Structure 1
Amino acid sequence: MRAGVTRAAALTLVVAAVGLLPWLSGRDPALTVLRARSAEQEATAEALAAIRADLGLDAGALALLGRWASALIRGDLGTSWVSGTDVLPSVVAGLQVSLGLMGAAFAVALPVAAALVAPVLVRGRGTSGAVAAMLAAVPEFLLATLLLIVGGVWLGWFPTAGWHGPAHLVLPAMALGVPAGGLLGRLVADALPAVLDERWVELWRGAGVSPARVAAAALRRVLPPLVPQFGMVVVGLTGGAVAVETIFAVPGIGRTALGAAKSQDLPLLQGAVLALLVLGLAVGALAALVRRRLLGPGLRDAGLTLPAPRPVRVGPAVPLVLAAGLLVLIGWGLLRDPYTVDTAARLAPPDLAHPLGTDGLGRDVLARLGHGAAATVGTAAAVCALSFALAMVLGFAPSIAVGTSDIANALPPVIVGILVAAAAGPGTGGAALAVALISWPALAAHAAALVQEVRASGFLLAQRAIGAGPGWVLVRHVLPSVAGPVARHAVLRLPGIALALASLGFLGLGAQPPAPEWGLLLDESRAYVERAPWAALAPALALAALAALAVSLAAYTSYVTSASYSSSASRSPVRRRTRKAADAH
């Protein structure tokens, strides 16, 4: 009940923030409208006052929010400040394009997922877990850029921009569908081996049931608990579509929202963000309905859980090699000047003087990569530390942690970045705030689960029985048992947070020129990708290495943790503290 109230409160807060964008913005809305209507007109006090009166901006924040909410109930999204047309038709048109793109992306994702799941159904064990993890970790904007360079520029197989026919759909659908298919395949392939080891599978096979029927039953056993995760894949598509639509000039709802944020067309931005939010919530509700139908009336109330997936065996060599390679690249780049402009060396190919070539202003790409990595990783570390601190505080309020986590999952980082950029303007601080706003709920939910587990353990009852005070129990047992796992979780999210910051920089919502930020470098190189593809490939490959490091590090940590727990149950932190408490008393 409390979690439901928290979800409703968080959703209300998000909708209110969208409605108050004209007041939360750091710019004068009247001045924005004046510039959109007539760039040459002088911004006098009388002209600005007339615009405020015309738009009702002088009525106050609460009156503005109430008027916007009442119009929203009637289906009126307002009038664009830039074009002067109704917002609703633009939002509907963009949403139709985005839904078509998402449908095409799922048409790509399903064969990819099936190819990853098929070996598990045939052999009973997966051999493509690392491949699935890599595909799932590749950011959509990075894959879209690589497809643009290879499939559109080098090979010339498909058009690189526009929305005029099936051929224009291929590259955007692949950019969205391949990571989604990798994630779907990984979810199913990780869960299937444990299901195939269950007793009923052995009995069916002994009774002569065909392998096809066993595989179909195993898939039906796996799908209900995973359906909510499938819904989150769709929500992730809405966030990834913003970058993909921007790269390929697709007139979808994501590109509409980004353009409205940059032009400060706040009514159009409000309508686009609401459409994306409603889409995410609708997908979540649909996933819950599908899950109930798959479970049937017998298991609907009890639910159904899956056995713990088997960890993929990963040695330390892969993350160490990737980390060492990135450190060498960063260190080498830090020894160079990233701001020196040499117009005579514009778009120079890689050579001894410039090992990774130069950009459109003749600046050394290696130097900009090195300095950009230092800034991006430093910002990501600060976001991780802030998220960890909030998680440790809110972990003791499970209803708040779980409720806000559900709403945060429905808001991809790009959408939050658009809202923050509209309110505070683009910049490194705004991008860090946007990523932090959706990073801490997952950690807080993890902390809340650990707190409940530790509080329910038997050794704490023994501690209280022998007279230990609440402060002693909290400081000596609860906090140490929770802080370690949550801290490791936060560290594992560091590469992903860095990639999220890079995606915001790529869209122009993060670091601004001439800052050497990886996402910004990739965006700047798109203007001359046909003449100098190496300028785009360098940051693209660096981001790919960062994604691979995130996957391999998470897989290695999961494998080591699982191995240590399976080798001896006494290695559990709770049981270690139980023995220490018994020895002390």
Structure 2
Amino acid sequence: MRHLGRPAVLATVLAAVGLLPWLTRTDPALTILHARYADRPPTPAVLDAIRAETGLDGGPLRVLGDWAGGLLHGDLGRSWVSGQPVAPDVTSALGVSLTLMGGSLAVALVLAFALAAPTLWRGARRRLTTTRAGAVAAVLAALPEFLLAAVLATVLAVQLGWFPALGWGRADQLVLPALAMGVPAGALLGRLLDDALPAAFAEPWARAAAASGMPPRRVAGHALRRSAPALLPQLGLVVVGLTGGAVAVETLYAIPGLGSTALAAALAQDLPVLQACVLLLLLLGLAASLVARAGSRLLLGPVRTARALPALVAPVLPVRRAVTVAAGGLAVLLAAVTVVGLLRDPLAVDAAARLASPSAAHPLGTDSLGRDVLARLGHGTARTVLTAVAVSAVTLLLGLVAGALRAGALTETANALPAVLAGLVVAGVAGPGPWGAAAAVAAVAWAPLAAHTSALYTQEKAAPHLAASLALGAGRGHLLRRHLLPGVVPPVVRHAVLRVPAVALALASLGFLGLGAQAPAPEWGRMLSENMPYAERAPWAVLAPAAALAVLGALAVLTTASVRGRRGGSGGRGRSGGRGGSGG
């Protein structure tokens, strides 16, 4: 049954994609009528004719059967908007996305090795006292791709003019998108590698190699090989995360890839195009996961089981006090900006002060409508954080239940789905909006908590004190109240609290794409997207929400590092470094 779980969950996900035209709350016939036949009245006869022409007059089984049958023949359907076959455009977009992801992955690998190089060099010479990637890599890893893309476009393209801000087709047009997607991914991989290397260098073989006079270069190579198998699954998750990040980056830079095509289809309710894009993005993520797993087996060679190869156990390295101080300082700064902003009106429009620069009246300037940026930033903090807390509470309950039920296959599938991809599907069904964005994030953010719950539950069940209580005649209720719940719930609750900023960043990314809160709501992601066209004239309107998002990401990783340091590096973790779902 365990081996049937993953195919069954994958089949369920594919079925949900195939049923999108039937699940949507809008009438597909009306969408097609408005797009193709705007001059025809929406009479029942006309709508019935459109449904019969497109095969939408049947029930869900017919809709799913027609879609699956078309897939078997290479037919991805016809666009509801243009009436043209979907396959040629989506195939062309796939080629663009693969090129962008290849460039981003190259940037990620180079940066990961550069961040881990000092630890690799010092460890090979037996001089390792602390890791070097540290907080910088952690903060870079927590930056959403859309935020980095906006900052790079504002600074390097608009302000300095070094690279083109839009378009696709030339080599220089690949640079900024690849950096925007590759830097967070590379920082994540570099941090994971930097954390794994001390454990490899602490093993007996490394001491024996150094004592025998083996050259440091060879020792470093063996340490990399020893650390790589554990990192390859994370590399697969990074590639999956790139598929989600590509949606925002392709949209911002006007790149005709799968991400921007899927977003345009979701906003236009062109569900056949959305189905095809989501299907290809899912298959791309699945292929990345399988390749990573195959690479891990190849590196391990004949040693293929966890029992044959012991897990790396990292030595406890010192945590700098500056990490805790920085986390506290950022929290105070964010709270101060929020309080001051809440005292101002975020919806007041002053046409005479459009795009005004920072002043005493408007400390952070105004936007294109003359609204105070500080006010919108403060109210956006309250809106985003409160929504993130509510979503985190829901995901905590879902994670505890799913982890207790050992829903491993479902957890792995949700763990590998980017929140943006879930947001596209929800927008295709219910349309864009804050509730849909919250539902999309909750649909994937529970997975790390479920994995954490499952691991702790297994650990507690195997504990000696539980066996002793059973031998003394304790009942199931007593074991649950006194042993299992106290051992499982508090660590998972702490994990959920630490993930609140990551959930907020995921919500902001959907707002940036237009899938979350709608105008005139003051929401950070929407502020960023609304002000991007004015980045050259009023950079403060872009840099203010960008800085707030960067502070939130930095606060998340620094707080996590501080808590982990105080607990001596112990404590369970859910998804180790996955960026796809809900952030780092």
Q: TM-score range by the shorter chain?
A: over 0.9
> Which of 169, 173, 176 is the equivalent residue of 1:168?
173
Q: How does 1:564-583 map to 2 (within 5 A)?
A: none
Displacement of 1:128 after TM fit? 2.1
Give the C-alpha shift of residue 11 in structure 1: 1.4
Conservation of the 8 A alpha-carbon contact between 2:116 and 2:132: no
What pairs with 1:177-576 in structure 2 (closer than 5 Å)?
177-300=182-305, 302=307, 304=309, 305-308=311-314, 310=316, 313-315=319-321, 316-398=324-406, 401-562=407-568
Aligned length: 563
Q: CA deviation at 1:308?
A: 3.5
Partner residue, 2:17: 18
Counterpart CA distance in 2 for 1:282 and 1:370 is 42
Structure 2 gaps of 5+ residues are: 124-129, 573-584
Cα deviation, residue 310, structure 1:
4.2
Pair 1:508–1:351, CA change in 2 (3 A) = same
Deviates more, 1:27-36 or 1:403-412: 403-412
> What is the aligned partner in structure 1 of residue 579 from structure 2?
none
Counterpart CA distance in 2 for 1:209 and 1:454 is 43
Change in Cα spacing, 1:320 to 1:88, as seen in structure 2 (3 Å) is: same
**Alignment partners' CA distance in 2, 1:514 and 1:117:** 44
The one-letter code matched in structure 1 to 2:286 is L
Q: Is the 8 A contact 1:163 1:251 kept in 2?
A: yes
Structure 1 residues 303 and 364: alpha-carbon distance in aligned structure 2, compared to 1, 3 A threshold: farther
SS of the residue corresponding to residue 395 of structure 1 reads helix
Cα pair distance change 1:95/1:311, threshold 3 Å: farther
Distance across 2 between alignment mates of 1:384 and 1:167: 40
Alpha-carbon distance between aligned partners in 1 of 2:59 and 2:393, rounded to the nearest angstrom: 37
Q: CA deviation at 1:394?
A: 2.2
Measure, in 1, the Cα distance between the counterparts of 2:515 and 2:315: 38
**C-alpha RMSD over aligned residues:** 1.5
Q: Do 1:239 and 1:254's aligned partners in 2 also have CA atoms closer than 8 Å? A: yes
Q: Any unmatched runs of 5+ in structure 1?
A: 566-572, 574-585
- The amino acid across from 1:313 in the alignment is V
Counterpart pick for 1:159 among 142, 145, 164:
164
Instruction: Tell me, in whole angstroms, the C-alpha distance in 2 between the residues paired with 1:448 and 1:287.
Output: 23
- Please state how far the C-alpha of 1:164 moved relative to its aligned partner: 2.5
Report the TM-score, using the length of structure 2 for normalisation: 0.94
> Could you tell me how far apart the structure 2 residues matched to 1:158 and 1:385 are?
43
In the alignment, what sits opposite 2:140? 135
Higher share in helix: 1
SS in 2 for 1:297: coil
**How far apart in 2 are the matches of 1:140 and 1:309?**
32
Structure 2 match to 1:104: 103
How far did 1:452 drift?
1.0
Q: Partner letter of residue 6 of structure 2? A: R
Q: Which runs of 4+ in 1 moved over 6 A?
A: none
Partners of 1:483 and 1:254 in 2: how far apart? 38
CA distance in 1, matches of 2:196, 2:290: 23
Q: Deviation of residue 6 (structure 1)?
A: 2.9
Amino acid at match of 1:447: T
Between stretches 541-550 and 552-561, larger displacement belongs to 552-561
Distance 1:388 1:8 in 2: 26
Query: CA shift at 1:8, angstroms?
Result: 2.3
> d(CA) in 2 for partners of 1:266 and 1:239?
18
The percent identity for this pair of structures is 56
> Over residues 445-494 of structure 1, what are the superposed CA-to-partner deviations in whole Å (9 max), with x where a residue is unaligned?
11111111111111111111112110011012111111100000001110
More deviation in 372-381 or 101-110? 101-110
SS at structure 2 position matched to 1:84: coil
1: CA distance between counterparts of 2:522 and 2:305?
Answer: 53
Q: SS of the residue aligned with 2:42?
A: coil
Cα separation, 2, equivalents of 1:64 and 1:326: 49
Give the secondary structure class of the aligned counterpart of 2:301: helix
Distance 2:563 2:506 in 1: 22
